[in-house]
Amino acid sequence: MSSSSIDIELAPLKNAVSMALEFAASLGTNAAEVAISKQQGLSVSTRLKEVETVEFNKDGALGITLYRGGCKGSSSTSDLSPEAIKEAVKAADGIARFTSEDAFSGLADADRMATEFHDLQLYYPEDITPEALTELAIRAEAAALDADEQVKTSDGANVNAHTGFKVYGNSHGFLQGEASSRYSLSCVAIAESEGKMQRDYDYTVARQLNALASPETVGLKAAQKTVDRLNARKIATTQLPVLFSPEIATGLMGHLVSAISGGSLYRNSSFLQDAIDTDIFPDWFSIAEQPHLQGGLASANYDSEGVATVERQIIDNGRLASYLLTSYSARKLGMTNTGHAGGIYNWTLSNTGQTFTQLIKEMNTGLLVTEVMGQGVNGVTGDYSRGAAGFYVENGVILYPVEEITIAGNLKDMYSNMVGVAKDQDLRSSIRTGGILLSDMKVAGN
């Protein structure tokens, strides 16, 4: 869709935001911010190559937050008529009149607002039918079911196509909108051997429909991963090097996101309290945040407060170089807003030059983890203990699958004990990384 077509779609949303801001100002409020979204999507799921569900959604909502001094009130409406918008503003104002004052609340500072807007190429709409999505799902299931005779059935395939428009404006005069699209395809296979069953899945996600991996690739990978897990066994309790597969490595870094986020820090609930400018990782390791990658799954010109996003080092040669702060958390901590209201933006991890297969060989004898379970992570202490499944590796060769084990450690030790990151990255999330090898962890089994 051309930029002019996008402007036409955004125009009524910008008008609604402007109307809400003007009405809030007429009530004598100090400041206000308004966000509005409109999205639509189509989802199709199949099971055993038959359509199970077809879902179409189309909705939108406006949310307003306004301030009277340090008092804050918020409300929302899905009715975007002028009358409904005015009622929502009145409701927010009524709430603000009865809330307690908070000296740290308010809009982000005016000088932090984004003024440059890159063409991030996030919007690729497709005029696609339920029948076309159904065909993709069935092709994925068919590939999984035909891949190996041990694949006995499928737990389904799912295809999603979604597009959306968002507009944000505030009393600083900031008023901007964006359009985005996202497509995904997933498939789950179930295999059986000696009366015992295993399941696994694979998926693909992209801004463009034609950038997805083929349904056959997704189905085949789902089947291969499932068959590989058959005849899994426990291992004896021990201490071993552990290699996290790329999908699990993103979760390992996800704990870092939580630990360095302003909310955790000002509540004193992070194991990385007061850790800025200290060494957390080995000196060869860095994380770069790249918010302006074209087509990136987590690209943005500004955060949900209108603050400009900038490229920055999160980890710089092992050192924690930046926290993740909103306007509120920055004020609470007496620090500078980093533009992270709403999340992170395309974290790209450095690597040690090996492929994932080479890291398996270099690990020699250890545990390859492909699944973790449970919520055994303490964000305050960093203690980590989770159920896991994967593969036992000896002399650089995968010997057999393992299950019903627990891996344990402390995130501080785990981060400092990283000895390798694979160069073949998984690009399907906001954290772009290959597999991560740790020198050792406790493994509880038999």
Q: For 405-428, how does the pLDDT look when each residue is reduced to its tens digit (9 = 90+)? A: 999 999 999 999 999 999 999 999
Domain co-membership, 363 together with 403: yes
Does residue 4 have a pLDDT over 90? no
**Position 110 confidence tier, pLDDT thresholds 50, 70, 90:** very high
- 153 within a domain of the structure (yes/no): yes
Domain co-membership, 182 together with 308: no
Torsion of Cα atoms, 389 then 390 then 391 then 392, to 10°: -50
Question: Model confidence over 183-213: pLDDT tens digits?
Answer: 999 999 999 998 899 999 999 999 999 999 9
- 321 within a domain of the structure (yes/no): yes
Does residue 350 have a pLDDT over 70? yes
Domain co-membership, 256 together with 398: yes
Domain co-membership, 189 together with 303: no
Task: Out of 207, 228, 249, pick the residue that ends a domain.
Answer: 228
Domain co-membership, 201 together with 252: no
Domain co-membership, 274 together with 377: yes
Task: Out of 228, 255, 287, pick the residue that ends a domain.
Answer: 228
Paired strand residues for 347: 289, 431
Domain co-membership, 46 together with 180: yes
How many domains does the chain fold into? Answer: 2
Residue 1 is predicted with a pLDDT of: 54
Domain co-membership, 132 together with 211: yes
Query: How many whole angstroms separate alpha carbon 288 and alpha carbon 284?
Result: 13
The CATH number of whichever domain residue 101 belongs to comes to: 3.30.2290.10
Residue 2 is predicted with a pLDDT of: 59
Domain co-membership, 200 together with 246: no
Does residue 347 have a pLDDT over 80? yes
**Domain interval for residue 254:** 238-444
Domain co-membership, 190 together with 253: no
The structure tokens listed for 338 are: 């980093």
Domain co-membership, 266 together with 224: no
Question: Model confidence over 312-331: pLDDT tens digits?
Answer: 999 999 999 999 999 999 99
- 233 within a domain of the structure (yes/no): no
- 53 within a domain of the structure (yes/no): yes
Question: Model confidence over 145-176: pLDDT tens digits?
Answer: 999 999 999 999 999 999 999 999 999 999 99
Does residue 264 have a pLDDT over 70? yes
Question: Model confidence over 207-246: pLDDT tens digits?
Answer: 999 999 999 999 999 999 999 999 999 999 999 999 999 9
- 382 within a domain of the structure (yes/no): yes
Does residue 12 have a pLDDT over 80? yes
- 345 within a domain of the structure (yes/no): yes
Determine the average pLDDT of the residues in 377-394. 97
Residue 7 is predicted with a pLDDT of: 85
Task: Out of 196, 228, 260, pick the residue that ends a domain.
Answer: 228
Alpha-carbon distance values, 113 to 117, 168, 337, 346, 395 (Å): 11, 11, 11, 20, 55
Alpha-carbon distance values, 352 to 147, 240, 318 (Å): 34, 20, 13
Percent of the chain with pLDDT over 90: 96
| CA 39 to chain CA centroid, nearest Å | 19
Does residue 41 have a pLDDT over 80? yes
Residue 334 is predicted with a pLDDT of: 96
Domain co-membership, 193 together with 341: no
- 257 within a domain of the structure (yes/no): yes
